[in-house]
Each structure stands twice: as structure tokens, then as C-alpha cells.
């Protein structure tokens, strides 16, 4: 049994949603200390109270650094790690030019393992402790990520990306193989240690109705799995979907009609939505994932975070690596702030941090396990240095309160601000 641990610092936990009537700052409670045992959080409180409660614990003092839940990135493509920041294309051309040729390489288990390890190293260094990743059509690509996450004790969601049309030779499966290979991966990995399987049709342009139907049936047989896909990212894409599914009422209907809408459905992007789609997303308990660096980088549009939050949608935040241009959830929060500014609805630092932790965890239905610092939650956490560079430090010197100081790191911080990362209590950075 590992020794109990008490971390001292400015420990922040959410007691409400900062988007609720509570208001952003009242939604956050600050503690002096947090105690960890066996990979879980066992207490929060004053230093004196925790030392008294756990007399044998090791004490680790982080001074005035801020201790937060580890970041949760609710939509990524780990196989796109090596082609992040590829120039000059919009969605469909970007997929054909950069993404598909790279994804072709993941039939090689050795290459998949190399990129999976590289991806988890890069994101952990940025303070991300949980990701929900698309893999490629190759089961080897899923094996590689789950195996790497399992070795690291990390909570990860992933699934085999299914495509049986509008993708190059070598990157297409069939309705039957998509179903059977996904089923075999579910049997092998879903619910093992900290791993969750997500049934993953890439998006309706690359799946035939027969494939969507097969995956709908698979989800009905395994309802504890998540289902992740893309929805209404670019206008050209929506036009394409209209042509491919003339019977469908709208883009969402191409999923809904095949049993791919409900609690545990996670839709990336969801920028250009019709009123019917918004209603059905909310009523069904589905989740939306805001991918701001991707939406500006690929030129997709401005997600209506304010409006969607106000109507009660379940929303997470994500990098969308490698359509997104950063591995860092700090950079992603900054981009979410900028997009909200362009819509005239500024976000508070507490709201940004909530989206990157509880919001994303909740979008992945993991809100009782990760994404907050509370008793019985898993001990995934990040320690932020609020003066990590001279540029940030000089701004923080002028800050009147914690929120002003934190906001400077949200807007200007990178992996240098990540002072320590713990996964299930174990120090990994
Ligand atoms: N739509 C379908 N596939 C993808 C992808 O890999 N990235 C993004 N951003 N959008 C997609
Ligand atoms: Zn994506």
C-alpha cells in the first residue's frame, strides 16, 4: 500500500456549475489541502484538519500554486498527432490530403504503439489526464492506445473509427467488419481498469446507412459504451450529407434514424445546428463537444456555447487534435474565450476551467469519477504555476485576486505552467 499523501496549495473544487445561477466564483471552493490514498481523493480541508485525520501521511507543499482536477479532452484523434498544424485546407480536403494518408499507417502495430505513447506523453505534459480519442479503422490502433493507457493507469475513452465509403482503399471496412471488430474490442477492453469503449462511426459521409444501422444495433447491445461521432462542422459537409441521405430531416437525423442518438452519444463540433437538432440533442441527453482551436484552424465556424448552455445542453471542451492546432487544454480554453468574445459573450476563467474538467467529464458521463476534486473521486490532478514565464509573472504581479491571476495562465500559459501532474495519485510529471 502506498503511503497517504497530503498536497498543500490553493486547491480548487467545484461545488456547482459556474454556468448556473450560483455565478462563476461562488461555484468554486478553495481548500488549503487535499489528501490522496490508493489513487483516490479521501479528504479536502485545512492543513491542520488533514494532518490530524491522516497522521502518517507524507506532506508535499506546493506553496501558492493552484491544484486543479486533471484536464479532460473530450474529442481527439490521437492518430493525427504527427500531422497536427498542416497548412491551408478546409475539412474535406484536409481529411483527404493530410489525415487519411497518415491514418493508413496505423495498420502497423509498431507505428500505432509509437504514436500512442508519444501522444500520451505530449498531452500529460500539458496537464491532460483523460482523453476521448478516435483511432483508425485498424483494431491495432485501438489496442495500441488502450494498452498504453492501461500501463499508465490512465482513464481513457477510445474506439475504432468505422468508415465504409468515401475513404481511400485501405481505410475502409464494411458494415459487418465494423460491427464485429468493434464488438471484439468491446469484449477485450470496455470496463477493463479505467478504460471505456466508444462506438465510433467517423461521420455519416463515410458510413453507408447499412454501417450506421449495424453500429446502432451494436450500441443497443452494449448500452454502457459511449458513441462518438462528428456533427455539423462545416457548411460544405452539411450539404454533402443532405445529398447522401435525401430522406433525412437534417444531419442529426442520419444518426438518430439508426439508433445513434441518446445518453452517452458524444457529438464533436455541432456548430451549424437547426432548431430541431438542438431540441433532440437536449431531450435525448446527448453531449456536444466544443473544439475551438480546430473550428478556427480548419475554418468551420463559431460554436454557440452561450446559447447552447442556456438551453441546457451537456457540453464538453476538446482540442480535436490534429484538426485542432494544440495539444494543450490551456490553449483550448483561451480559444474558447476568443470564440465567445467574437459572439459577444465573454467567459469567466472559472467557466473555462469547468469546461475543461467537469464539463468534459460530464460530456463523457465520467463526472462521478474524474473532472473535480471531491472525496471519493479518482486522484487525477494538475498543479499550475501561475507565474510560469516572465510575461505571465509580470501580469500576475498586477492581479487583484486569484481569478485575475488564473486568467493570465489560461490565456498565455502552456506546458511550462504545468508544475506537476498526478494520475490515480501517482506523479507522472
Ligand atoms: N470529420 C470527420 N473526420 C474528422 C476529423 O478527423 N477531424 C475533424 N476535425 N473533423 C472530422
Ligand atoms: Zn474530430
Instruction: Give the model confidence (pLDDT) of 164-217 as tens digits.
Output: 999 999 999 999 999 999 999 999 999 999 999 999 999 999 999 999 999 999
Residue 320 near ligand 1, beta carbon < 6 Å: yes
User: Residue 6 above 80 pLDDT?
Assistant: yes
Kindly state the average pLDDT of the residues 161-165.
98
Question: Whole-angstrom Cα distance, residue 402 to residue 354?
Answer: 15
Write down the CATH superfamily of domain 5-69+373-427.
Urease, subunit C, domain 1 (2.30.40.10)
Distance in angstroms (rounded) separating the CA atoms of residues 407 and 332: 13
Interval between CA 106 and ligand 2 midpoint (Å): 17
Kindly give the number of the ligand 1 atom that is closest to the alpha carbon of 99. 6
How many angstroms is it from 228 CA to the middle of ligand 1?
Answer: 12
Average model confidence (pLDDT) for the chain? 98
- Average confidence (pLDDT) over 371-387: 98
Query: What's the pLDDT at 145?
Result: 99
pLDDT surpasses 80 at 1: no
Alpha carbon of 230 to ligand 1 centroid (Å)? 7
Residue with CA at minimum distance from ligand 1 atom 9: 323
Q: What is the mean pLDDT of residues 337-347?
A: 97
The CB of 203 under 6 Å from ligand 1? The reply is: yes
Give the 3-state secondary structure of the chain: CCCCEEEEEEEEEECCCCCCCCCCCCCEEEEEEEEEECCEEEEEECHHHHHHHCCCCEEEEEEEEEEEECEEEEEEEHHHHHHCCCCCCCHHHHHHHHHHHHHHHHHCHHHHHHHHHHHHHHHHHCCEEEEEEECCCCHHHHHHHHHHHHHHCCCEEEECEECCCCCCCCCCCCHHHHHHHHHHHHHHHCCCCCEEEEEEECCHHHCCHHHHHHHHHHHHHCCCCEEEEEECCCHHHHHHHHHHCCCCCCCCHHHHCCCCCCCCEEEEECCCCCHHHHHHHHHHCCEEEECHHHHHHCCCCCCCHHHHHHCCCEEEECCCECCECCCCHHHHHHHHHHHHHHCCCCCCHHHHHHHHHHHHHHHCCCCCCCCCCCCCCECCEEEECCCCCHHHHHHHCCCCCHHHHHHHHHHHCCHHHEEEEEECCEECC
Distance (Å) from CA 229 to ligand 2 centroid: 8
Superfamily of domain 71-363: Metal-dependent hydrolases (3.20.20.140)
Q: Alpha-carbon distance 296 to 317, whole Å?
A: 14
Residue 367 in contact with ligand 1 by CB distance below 6 A = no
Pairing outcome for strands 418-423 and 426-427? antiparallel
For atom 3 of ligand 1, the residue with the nearest CA is 202
**C-alpha to C-alpha distance for 32 and 259, rounded to whole angstroms:** 47
Among residues 102, 214, 115, the alpha carbon closest in space to that of 158 is found at 115
pLDDT of residue 2: 79
Q: Which of 404, 366, 403, 408 is nearest to 73 (CA)?
A: 366
> Ligand 1 mean position to 16 CA, how many Å?
33
**Is the pLDDT at 238 greater than 90, yes or no?**
yes
Half-sphere exposure of 398 (CA within 13 A, CB side): 7
Q: Atom 11 in ligand 1: which residue has the minimum CA distance?
A: 230
Q: What is the pLDDT of residues 88-101, one digit of tens each?
A: 999 999 999 999 99
Find the mean pLDDT for residues 143-152.
Answer: 98
324 CA closest ligand 1 atom index:
9
Same fold, 5-69+373-427 and 71-363: no
Closest CA to 366 of 314, 313, 328: 314
Q: Looking at ligand 1, which residue's alpha carbon is closest to its atom 7?
A: 323
Is the minimum distance from the CB of 233 to ligand 1 under 6 angstroms? Answer: yes
77 lines ligand 1 (CB under 6 A): yes
As a whole number, mean pLDDT of residues 214-232 equals 98
What is the pTM assigned to this prediction?
A: 0.98
Q: Is the CB of 323 under 6 A from ligand 1?
A: yes
Q: Which atom of ligand 1 is the closest one to the Cα of 80?
A: 6
Residue 288 pLDDT greater than 90, yes or no: yes
Query: What is the end-to-end Cα distance of the chain in Å, rounded?
Result: 21
Give the distance (Å) from ligand 1 centre to CA of residue 76.
9
For the chain, give the percent of residues with pLDDT over 70: 100
The atom number, within ligand 1, closest to the CA of 233 reads 10
Cα–Cα distance between 87 and 250 in angstroms, integer? 31
Q: Kindly give the distance from the C-alpha atom of residue 340 to the centroid of ligand 1, in angstroms, as a whole number.
A: 22
ipTM, two decimals: 0.99
Distances from the Cα of 93 to the Cα of 98, 267, 301, angstroms: 8, 21, 17
CA of 80 to the centre of ligand 1 (A): 10
Ligand 1 site, residue 99, Cβ cutoff 6 A = yes
Among the bound ligands, name the one nearest to the CA of residue 298: 1
> Which residue among 202, 294, 322 has the greatest number of ligand 1 atoms within 8 angstroms of its CB, and so is best to mutate?
202
Domain ranges (residues) in the chain: 5-69+373-427, 71-363
Q: Which of 175, 218, 173, 168 is nearest to 197 (CA)?
A: 218
Mutation test residue for ligand 1: of 81, 97, 99, the one with most atoms within 8 Å of CB: 99
Pocket mutation for ligand 1, best pick of 76, 84, 95 (most atoms within 8 Å of C-beta): 95
Amino acid at each position: 500500500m502506498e503511503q497517504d499523501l497530503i498536497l498543500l496549495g490553493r486547491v480548487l473544487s467545484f461545488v456547482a456549475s459556474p454556468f448556473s445561477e450560483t455565478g462563476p466564483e461562488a461555484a468554486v471552493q478553495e481548500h488549503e489541502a487535499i489528501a490522496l490514498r490508493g489513487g483516490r481523493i479521501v479528504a479536502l480541508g485545512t492543513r491542520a484538519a488533514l494532518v490530524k485525520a491522516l497522521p502518517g501521511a507524507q506532506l508535499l507543499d506546493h506553496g501558492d500554486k493552484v491544484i486543479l482536477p486533471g484536464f479532460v479532452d473530450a474529442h481527439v484523434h490521437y492518430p493525427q498527432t504527427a500531422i497536427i498544424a498542416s497548412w491551408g485546407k478546409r475539412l474535406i480536403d484536409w481529411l483527404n490530403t493530410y489525415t487519411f494518408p497518415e491514418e493508413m499507417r496505423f495498420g502497423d502495430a509498431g507505428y500505432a504503439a509509437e504514436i500512442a505513447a508519444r501522444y500520451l506523453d505530449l498531452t500529460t505534459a500539458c496537464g491532460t489526464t483523460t482523453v476521448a480519442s478516435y483511432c483508425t479503422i485498424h483494431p491495432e490502433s485501438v489496442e495500441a492506445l488502450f494498452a498504453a493507457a492501461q500501463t499508465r493507469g490512465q482513464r481513457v475513452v477510445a474506439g475504432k473509427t468505422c468508415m465504409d465509403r468515401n475513404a481511400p482503399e485501405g481505410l475502409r471496412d464494411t458494415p459487418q467488419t465494423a460491427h464485429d471488430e468493434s464488438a471484439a474490442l468491446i469484449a477485450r477492453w470496455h470496463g477493463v481498469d479505467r478504460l471505456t469503449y466508444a462506438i465510433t462511426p467517423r461521420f455519416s459521409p463515410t458510413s453507408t446507412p447499412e454501417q450506421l444501422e449495424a453500429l446502432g444495433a451494436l450500441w443497443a447491445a452494449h448500452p454502457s459504451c459511449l458513441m462518438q461521432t462528428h456533427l455539423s462542422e462545416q457548411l460544405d459537409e452539411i450539404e454533402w450529407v443532405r445529398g447522401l441521405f435525401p430522406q433525412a430531416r437534417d444531419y442529426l437525423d442520419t444518426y438518430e434514424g439508426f439508433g445513434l442518438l441518446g445518453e452517452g452519444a458524444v457529438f464533436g463540433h455541432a456548430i451549424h445546428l437547426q432548431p430541431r437538432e438542438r431540441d433532440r440533442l437536449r431531450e435525448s441527453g446527448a453531449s456536444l463537444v466544443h473544439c475551438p482551436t480546430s473550428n478556427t484552424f480548419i475554418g468551420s465556424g463559431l460554436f454557440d456555447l452561450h446559447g447552447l448552455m442556456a438551453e441546457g445542453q451537456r457540453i464538453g471542451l476538446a482540442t480535436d487534435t490534429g484538426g485542432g492546432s494544440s495539444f494543450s487544454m490551456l490553449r483550448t480554453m483561451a480559444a474558447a474565450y476568443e470564440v465567445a468574445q467574437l459572439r459577444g459573450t465573454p467567459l469567466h476563467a472559472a467557466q473555462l476551467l469547468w469546461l475543461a474538467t467537469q464539463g468534459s467529464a460530464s460530456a463523457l458521463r465520467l463526472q462521478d469519477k474524474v473532472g473535480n476534486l471531491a472525496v471519493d473521486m479518482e486522484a487525477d490532478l494538475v498543479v499550475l504555476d501561475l507565474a510560469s514565464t516572465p510575461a505571465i509573472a509580470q501580469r500576475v504581479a498586477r492581479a487583484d485576486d486569484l481569478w485575475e491571476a488564473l486568467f493570465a495562465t489560461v490565456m498565455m500559459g502552456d506546458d511550462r505552467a504545468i508544475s506537476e501532474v498526478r494520475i490515480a495519485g501517482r506523479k507522472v510529471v
